[in-house]
Amino acid sequence: MARRAGQAHLHQAKVRKSDEFYTQLDDIARELMHYQQHFRNQVVLCNCDDFAQSNFARYFIDHFDELGLKRLICSYYHAAGQGRAACYEQGHITNITLQGDGDFLSAEGRALLAQADIVVTNPPFSLFRAYLNQLLEYHKKFLVIANINAITYKEVFALIARQQVWLGVNMGRGISGFIVPEHYELYGRETRVNELGQRIVASNNCLWLTNLDHQQRHAWLPLKQRYYGHEELYPRYDNCDAINVNRTADIPSDYYGLMGVPITFLHKFNPEQFELVRFRKGDDGRDLKVAGKATYFRILIRHRAASA
Ligand SMILES: C[S@@+](CC[C@H](N)C(=O)[O-])C[C@H]1O[C@@H](n2cnc3c(N)ncnc32)[C@H](O)[C@@H]1O
Digit-coded pLDDT (tens) for 281-298: 999 999 999 999 999 889
Is residue 34 located within the same domain as residue 162? yes
Is residue 175 located within the same domain as residue 262? no
Nearest CA to ligand 1 atom 10: 124
Which of 215, 240, 272 represents a domain boundary (last residue)?
Answer: 215
Q: Whole-angstrom Cα distance, residue 275 to residue 161? A: 8
Is residue 141 located within the same domain as residue 204? yes
Question: Residue 307 pLDDT > 70, yes or no?
Answer: no
The number of folded domains in the chain is 2
Is residue 235 located within the same domain as residue 208? no
Binned at pLDDT 50, 70 and 90, residue 1 comes out as very low
Would you say the CB of residue 256 lies under 6 angstroms from ligand 1? no
Binned at pLDDT 50, 70 and 90, residue 20 comes out as confident
Q: How far is CA 147 from the centre of its chain?
A: 6
Return the pLDDT at 222.
Answer: 96
Is residue 123 located within the same domain as residue 165? yes
Binned at pLDDT 50, 70 and 90, residue 15 comes out as low
Find the mean pLDDT for residues 82-111.
96
Is residue 229 located within the same domain as residue 288? yes
Find the mean pLDDT for residues 218-246.
97
Boundaries of domain holding 110:
2-215
CA dihedral 107, 113, 114, 119 (to 10 degrees): -170
Question: Residue 8 pLDDT > 70, yes or no?
Answer: no
Ligand 1 atom with least separation from CA of 53: 9
Is residue 197 located within the same domain as residue 273? no
Would you say the CB of residue 31 lies under 6 angstroms from ligand 1? no
Find the mean pLDDT for residues 57-73.
98
Query: What share of the chain in percent tops pLDDT 90?
Result: 81
How far is the centre of ligand 1, averaged over its atoms, from the C-alpha of 106 (Å)? Answer: 14
Would you say the CB of residue 208 lies under 6 angstroms from ligand 1? no
Find the mean pLDDT for residues 239-244.
98
Is residue 178 located within the same domain as residue 62? yes
Find the mean pLDDT for residues 92-108.
97
Question: Residue 10 pLDDT > 60, yes or no?
Answer: no
Q: Whole-angstrom Cα distance, residue 163 to residue 135? A: 16
Return the pLDDT at 306.
Answer: 54
Would you say the CB of residue 75 lies under 6 angstroms from ligand 1? no
Return the pLDDT at 109.
Answer: 98
Is residue 61 located within the same domain as residue 172? yes
How far is the centre of ligand 1, averaged over its atoms, from the C-alpha of 21 (Å)? Answer: 8
Nearest CA to ligand 1 atom 26: 20
Question: Per mean pLDDT, which range of 156-165, 217-226, 231-240, 299-308 is the poorest?
Answer: 299-308
Q: Whole-angstrom Cα distance, residue 100 to residue 85? A: 11
- Amino acid (1-letter code) at residue 186: L
Is residue 242 located within the same domain as residue 199? no
Return the pLDDT at 14.
Answer: 56
Mutation to probe ligand 1, out of 25, 45, 77, 105 (largest number of atoms < 8 A from CB):
77
Is residue 183 located within the same domain as residue 153? yes
Find the mean pLDDT for residues 88-112.
96
Return the pLDDT at 195.
Answer: 86
Using one digit for the tens of pLDDT, what is the confidence trace for 184-195?
Answer: 776 666 788 888
